[in-house]
Amino acid sequence: MGRESGRGIGRRTVLQGSAAASAALAVPTVASAAASAASGAPAQALSGRPSAQWGVQVGDVTTSSGLVWVRSDRPARMIVETSATESFARARRWHGPLVGPGTDFTGRTALHGLPAGSQVHYRVLLADPEDPRRTSEPVHGTFRTVPERRKGVRFVWSGDLAGQGWGINPDHGGYRVFEEMRRREPDFFLCSGDNIYADGPLAETVKLPDGSTWRNLIAPEKTKVAETLDEYRGNFRYNLLDPALRRFHAEVPTITQWDDHEVLNNWYPGEILVDDRYTEKNVDVLAARARQAFAEYFPISTLRPDASGRVYRVQHQGPLLDVFVLDCRTYRDANSPGRQPEDTQGILGAEQLRWLKRELSRSRAVWKVIACDMPLGLVVPDGKSDFDAVAQGDPGAPLGRELQLAELLRHIKHRKITGTVWLTADVHYTSAQHYDPSRAAFKDFAPFWEFVSGPLNAGAFPAVGLDGTFGPEQPFVKAPTVANVSPAEGFQFYGEVDIDGDSAEMTVRLREDGGKVLFTKVLRPGLVGQ
């Protein structure tokens, strides 16, 4: 298949021996989380050495670099050591930032000058700023840098974590789908948004239809909707209570985007809430706090902990793949019935659209994955008359946000940009859509595929309708027939993409929790209308 044999050996062994002990540290207790909420600082006793119980993450991996993340239990200096081997012989040391309360004790360290296409072993230590000899136990991780030459690529994607009242349930194996994805040995994980449900409080127990009980781990920040910066931070910390997720992060780099539930359901800039659960009604204020917490808890170089920068970016994954990460929240216009004949703002905003058109035109990768946090032709309602995504149910000529999509698709066709594939989540089921101008009201575009996955650990929902404006056909969908089906009842999904290093064929598989393949599509490079 054009993939290196034995490429996953380092990943399989990183959690063995001493690495396993440090990468799978004991889960921070709920009591610790409660004390953290009360004090605004981590709750572990400040005697002894610093501790990094929340694990490690890596993002922004390139041919020669990566960005390492950690969280401390107190002020500490972040130190990263890298090596080509697990023995850490001839280790290279990187001195990172002094982490403190200004970033919720999170820190990131950029690694540069790494060999391309190579396994990198790393360990993070936290040093007492008053006595550098007092360091934490090392937390180990590993990742593979992007190859310069043409080699196979495998990645997984999904979204929607801890939503609709379904949090970490140890009886269910916690976020067990991450263990399944880890075993697939992907080069990276693309999270299509809804990393948290800041607007979704959790109860300790929930009765299931069969009479059994779902039991959630509870942290104080998950007992109400998030409004303050610390409450948003606590939602991100909550997910890291799960050992399967921490093991996954230790082995699999992430490409992360956000959607609505990092702030609140179906939000848009300028919105004023009419929701009695919130004392802060200005969504722009809430979004700024959520954005800062999001920036603190993921290794994304285009975002900084002071909440500046942007979520949208392109991640180059070698000659075969570029990933274009979109932000369909920050720059959109207000949700509406979507029937306006002019709409320059759309769902991306004018500046992001210009960026996307420019970067797609520049890309020389065989495949251009457009990671969109919302689907294109699926009708996603917001209340009785408004719509949250692009489509609004009118199968005729483009109106509202569809005008911006039409402009982008026209650009892709006229610039002869091949290999575009759209990946998304959001709707809490899995499906495949093929868009073709022969079936469409708007015809000035080249056919393409869109694949939907998720949720990872959230409520599953029935399928929504298709909008005929861009001619979608749905050869596959799996969704429940009732709303908010729990993870205990199934309907938890992720997608997997394999690009063959020899033929450059892309194979997309839609999988469910447990690994079963539900749908497979093989796409050939350079072809239009397949």
Domain range 55-144, CATH architecture = Sandwich (2.60)
Segment 486-490 mean pLDDT = 97
Domain boundaries, the chain: 55-144, 153-523
> Given a cut of 50, is residue 323 above it in pLDDT?
yes
- Specify whether the CB–CB gap between 477 and 431 falls below 8 A: yes
Segment 63-90 mean pLDDT = 96
Residue of 276, 278, 288, 266 lying closest to 332 (CA atoms): 266
pLDDT tier at 136 (50, 70, 90 boundaries)?
Answer: very high
Give the pLDDT confidence of 355-367 residue by residue, as tens digits: 999 999 999 999 9
Residue 493's alpha-carbon distances to 307, 379, 516, in angstroms, are 31, 20, 10
pLDDT tier at 264 (50, 70, 90 boundaries)?
Answer: very high
pLDDT of residue 308: 77
pLDDT of residue 528: 66
The share of the chain scoring above pLDDT 90, in percent, equals 88
pLDDT of residue 4: 35
Residue of 136, 130, 120 lying closest to 51 (CA atoms): 136
Segment 37-58 mean pLDDT = 71
pLDDT of residue 10: 43
pLDDT of residue 44: 44
pLDDT of residue 2: 39
Residue of 249, 189, 255, 256 lying closest to 23 (CA atoms): 249
Segment 456-474 mean pLDDT = 98
Task: Report the chain's mean pLDDT, rounded to a whole number.
Answer: 92
> Given a cut of 80, is residue 182 above it in pLDDT?
yes
d(CA 213, CA 206): 6
> Given a cut of 90, is residue 41 above it in pLDDT?
no
Residue of 197, 198, 178 lying closest to 189 (CA atoms): 178
pLDDT of residue 305: 72
Segment 377-400 mean pLDDT = 97
Give the pLDDT confidence of 79-125 residue by residue, as tens digits: 999 999 999 988 999 999 999 999 999 999 999 999 999 999 999 99
pLDDT tier at 132 (50, 70, 90 boundaries)?
Answer: confident
pLDDT of residue 35: 44
Segment 503-525 mean pLDDT = 97
Looking at CATH, the fold of the domain delimited by 153-523 is given as Purple Acid Phosphatase; chain A, domain 2 (3.60.21)
Give the pLDDT confidence of 3-38 residue by residue, as tens digits: 333 334 343 334 333 333 333 344 454 444 434 433
For the packed helices 283-297 and 229-239, what is the interaxial angle rounded to 10 degrees? 40
d(CA 118, CA 115): 6
d(CA 181, CA 11): 13
Question: Would you say the pTM of this structure is higher than 0.85?
Answer: yes
Give the pLDDT confidence of 340-354 residue by residue, as tens digits: 999 999 999 999 999
pLDDT of residue 529: 65
Residue 438's alpha-carbon distances to 449, 470, 477, 520, 529, in angstroms, are 14, 9, 22, 23, 10
Residue 168's alpha-carbon distances to 216, 384, 402, in angstroms, are 5, 32, 38
